[in-house]
Amino acid sequence: MKEFTLAQKLSAEFLGTLWLVLGGCGSAVLAAAFPQVGIGLLGVSLAFGLSVLTMAYAVGHVSGGHFNPAVTVGLCTARRIPGKVVVPYILAQLGGAIAGAGILYLIASGKAGFDVSSGFAANGYGDNSPGGYTLAAALLSELVMTFFFLIVILGATDKRAPQGIAPVAIGLALTLIHLVSIPVTNTSVNPARSTGPALFVGGWAIKQLWLFWLAPVIGAALAGVVHLFLAEERGVVESEWAKTVTP
């Protein structure tokens, strides 16, 4: 089997994260409330899930399909990837997210009356939460949602899981996460996705960006530890296990 170079892997992460931001945030900025045919929160949720699903199939075999610094951290904590690739992967993801947000900005600014300060799909809490949720609520939401996102990713990509359908489970998990938490923070669970739009919005989005790094990274790291416990092979044969189970 071909071994891809680090440059190829980083390029795949760049492109995948670019597509996630352009597809997911683009759906929110350009199509969510479009007159008469707006896609709404359901459509935006699907767009984020589809962006990950499609790129996981397109370039996941090259880089692993992280497209998210929190995923990279979680996979490292779960001992799936070496620590030496964490920083290069995150830098590539940040580059892709900024490029995706830049392309979206150029497209969105082509319409009269566009105002980037109105949000630009940036993540926020308090007065900048779509539903007015507090910092504590936003922190808990991002931590828990990222934790379960990584639990799904790590489980779906385990060598003992059904092969070939992991991107579907991961894409659907991200869709579900958005369906639940868009009203709370606009949903991040991805520090790169938060950073790209925040750089264009500036001001409050930059000031609140810390939460959308801290909570996802902690949630992902915890998921990596939990997955190691859940997935560890202890060498217990099925017959011996059966003896310990009370009918």
Q: How far apart are CA 18 and CA 37, in angstroms?
A: 25
Q: How far apart are CA 235 and CA 247, in angstroms?
A: 22
Indicate whether 148 belongs to any domain: yes
Indicate whether 198 belongs to any domain: yes
Residue 234 has pLDDT above 60, yes or no: no
Indicate whether 246 belongs to any domain: no
The per-residue pLDDT for 34 is 61
The per-residue pLDDT for 245 is 44
Give the lowest-confidence range in 119-123, 132-136, 177-181, 220-224.
Answer: 119-123
Indicate whether 245 belongs to any domain: no
Give the lowest-confidence range in 121-135, 154-168, 201-215, 228-242.
Answer: 228-242
The per-residue pLDDT for 90 is 98
Residue 80 has pLDDT above 70, yes or no: yes
Indicate whether 244 belongs to any domain: no
Q: Give the HSE-up count for residue 27: Cα atoms under 13 Å, Cβ half-sphere.
A: 20
* pLDDT tens digits along 30-77: 988 766 667 889 999 999 999 999 999 999 999 999 999 999 999 999
Indicate whether 240 belongs to any domain: no
**Structural tokens at position 25:** 């945030």
Rounded to the nearest angstrom, the gap between the alpha carbon of residue 123 and the centroid of all alpha carbons in its chain is 13
**Structural tokens at position 125:** 């809490």
pLDDT band at 212 (very low <50, low <70, confident <90, very high): very high
Q: Could you give phi then psi for residue 154, rounded to 5 degrees? A: -65, -40
Q: How far apart are CA 145 and CA 189, in angstroms?
A: 7
The domain of 194 spans: 6-231
The whole-number average pLDDT for the span 15-44 is: 88
- Based on the structure, what is the number of domains in the chain? 1
CATH number of the structural domain spanning residue 198? 1.20.1080.10
162: which DSSP letter? P
Residue 246 has pLDDT above 70, yes or no: no
Q: Give the HSE-up count for residue 173: Cα atoms under 13 Å, Cβ half-sphere.
A: 21
CB 205 within 8 A of CB 197: yes
The per-residue pLDDT for 233 is 62
Query: Could you give the 3-state DSSP secondary structure of residue 94?
Result: helix
Q: How far apart are CA 209 and CA 215, in angstroms?
A: 10
Indicate whether 247 belongs to any domain: no
3-state SS track over 4-28? CCHHHHHHHHHHHHHHHHHHHHHHH
Model pTM score: 0.92
pLDDT band at 231 (very low <50, low <70, confident <90, very high): confident
Residue 137 has pLDDT above 60, yes or no: yes
The per-residue pLDDT for 37 is 63
2: which DSSP letter? P
Indicate whether 34 belongs to any domain: yes
The whole-number average pLDDT for the span 212-240 is: 82
**Structural tokens at position 192:** 């790169």
Give the lowest-confidence range in 157-161, 220-224, 235-239.
Answer: 235-239
* pLDDT tens digits along 106-127: 999 999 888 898 889 999 999 9
The per-residue pLDDT for 35 is 61
The per-residue pLDDT for 135 is 98
Q: What sections of 109-203 are H helices per DSSP?
A: 135-156, 166-185, 191-201
The per-residue pLDDT for 21 is 98
